[in-house]
Chains A and B, each alone.
Chain A
Amino acid sequence: MTVEFTADTVHGLAPSDLVREDRVAGRMYTDPQLFELEMTRIYERTWVWVAHESELPKAGSFKSTYVGRQPVIVVKDRKGTVNTLLNRCRHRGASLCEQRTGHANGFTCPYHAWSYGLDGKLRGIPYPDGYEGVLEKSELSLRKLRTESYGGMVFATFADGIEPLADFLGDVKLWIDRFMKQGGGYPVKVLGTHQFRFHGNWKIQLENTTDGYHFPIVHRSWMASVDAETADMMSFMTDPAAITHDLGNGHSVMQMVPEHSDLDVDDGTEPLQARFATLVTELKSAGLDDAAVRKLVRAVHGTGFNLNLFPNVSMSNSFLRVLRPISANETLIEHIAVGPEGPAEIVDPVNRERLRIHEHFQGPFGFGTPDDAEGWDRVQRGAQAAPEMPVLVNRGLARESAGPEGWPTSHVTDETGMRAAYNQWKQMMSDG
């Protein structure tokens, strides 16, 4: 049964009734109670991205981050296993680690010096005599989240009973493999992270990474500032080959530059961009042959797609976009720059180009991000009006059809990816 949203009914509707095929209720951005439900029914019941393996290069390497609103430490132990540990002492609840990244032999609580190993096991308690007969150390390990990875992408979940990560990703795995080809023959590593906040709901950002429609409007300022070749590369609005696929489980991929979707496919006819002439010279003088230079330089802009994973990470052209919900009205975003890892004389010049390209668009002072953030702030402000009024996600619905792989497919400017994400939201929010 389809339930209309009205001013009388919208606040009483079950979450699942707020999502329809072509629209969602504005209340989904603004209702703090819905936000609370999302934190448990979505963020504590599915795979949430926490790290890239390059952030944890050796035993003891750690990163502190969040799964939903819950603080965690992601750490590699001495066996090489990546553990995701709740950042909370088992004694009185203090946070154990307030450093964003680093290297440690273990974690010691600053309050009473309870100490834990890299695997989360409680190792030591000062003045243990008071605990005789009342405490069993083996029962007081840090809470460990189930942690699995694919293609270097590390995910964690509070839900022990859900499907394995590989099943949750499904056809996404093919696209993760393709994303990682931008190493140009080398593994991919994290180069640095931009972080910013906006005053809006996390789903506004989730939608945006699969929103080809906004690009030439919101990013006109960026388009006006780049070289003609780069502007032409991003001119996908009327390109019929630029398409978006619903990959299932809320995931989707938006192919803006389809000729760069699989960087291994190269017939040699595409000229390298003139802006990289100096880089080409540097790489040749580092001893690389023409084919190796071409492979690296052609990948400098990243892949030609945004792979949007439900609920919190996107592999977007040349970087990772990670969102963290703070409240119904506030979201924190990371834009993580990536590049090849290898000999300095080869990867450093490549990564300098990649860093400059990343800075040009991304981050709190980029030529793209602040305009995106302004758009999202405006959505949140506008959505306060008439929470029953629908937010439309119907673009391209009549021209969407199953592609050869079986993926629902439509033009890159269509809202296929948003519909995919909201279907998953609806399903997860319906499960009591």
Chain B
Amino acid sequence: MNTAGTELTDSRVIRAVQLVWHEADLLDHKRYEPWQDLYSEDAYYVVPIDPETEDFPNTLNMVYDDARMRQMRVARMTEGYAIAAVDSARTVRTVSRFVVENVTDDEVTLRSAQVLVAYKRGRHDLWAGEVTHRIRLSDDGDRIALKVVRLVDSEDAVPAAGFLL
């Protein structure tokens, strides 16, 4: 059921927005292990370069993580060997301007704007992007089935990051 114009007060949408905000909070506080648990086993977490593509497997991306890569990435961010992660920027992000793309009793797809400020050693970097979340609703806990972050400058040079979008 396509529900363009669905009210943000729809209880299914509220559940999805809450999950997106919870995710943003976990990432800003670098709580990567609980962050990982927000994703379903078959989920993909993608930061593409090509602003148009939906064909992520056949394209070069900044991030294209299945469960195995996510698990390795979380290990990298937390185990203390990666000097970029050990001394990473502090981040604060706002996720808003939600647009409901699709709602069913099982799944909600949300589009949003994310503005993230990363601070490290006297410098503030701005990371702005459009985010899509596909969220699977379940009595066992809602899970992210797909997250795609399309940076406004994805085709340009960005800083090398020690945190996650």
Contacts and interface: CB of A to CB of B under 8 A. Distances in A.
Contacts of B58: 348, 351-352, 355
Contacts of B83: 218, 371, 374-375
A220 B156 CA distance: 28
Nearest to B159: A197
A373 B155 contact: no
Contacts of B59: 192, 355
B53 to A, nearest CB: 10
B112 to A, nearest CB: 20
Interface in A371-394: 371-375, 377, 381
A151 to B, nearest CB: 22
B61 to A, nearest CB: 6
Interface string A174-218: 000000000000000001111111110000000000000000001
Interface SS majority for chain A: helix
B145 to A, nearest CB: 20
Interface residues of B, number: 34
Interface string B76-91: 1001011111010000
Interface stretch (A44-52, A281-289, A358-366): A358-366
A373 B83 CA distance: 9
Contact of A194 (B49, B79, B87, B164): B49
A220 B155 CA distance: 29
A364 B81 contact: no
A369 B160 contact: yes
B126 interface: no
Contacts of B49: 192-194
Size range of the chain A interface in the assembly: 35 or more
B76 A364 contact: no
Contacts of A333: 157
Most chain B CB inside 10 Å of its own CB: which residue of A192, A222, A364: A364
Contacts of A220: 81-82
A362 to B, nearest CB: 9
Interface string A327-359: 000001100010000000000100110011011
Contact of B63 (A198, A359, A375): A359
16 contacts: A100-B155, A192-B60, A194-B49, A194-B62, A195-B155, A220-B81, A222-B76, A224-B76, A356-B64, A358-B60, A365-B161, A369-B160, A370-B85, A371-B84, A373-B84, A374-B87
Interface of B: 47, 49-50, 57-64, 69, 72-73, 75-76, 79, 81-85, 87, 121, 123, 155-162, 164
Interface of A: 100, 191-199, 218, 220-222, 224-225, 332-333, 337, 348, 351-352, 355-356, 358-360, 363-365, 367, 369-375, 377, 381
Instruction: Enumerate the 8 nearest inter-chain pairs by beta-carbon distance, A residue then B residue, closest first.
Output: A192-B60, A370-B84, A373-B160, A221-B82, A195-B157, A370-B160, A221-B81, A220-B81
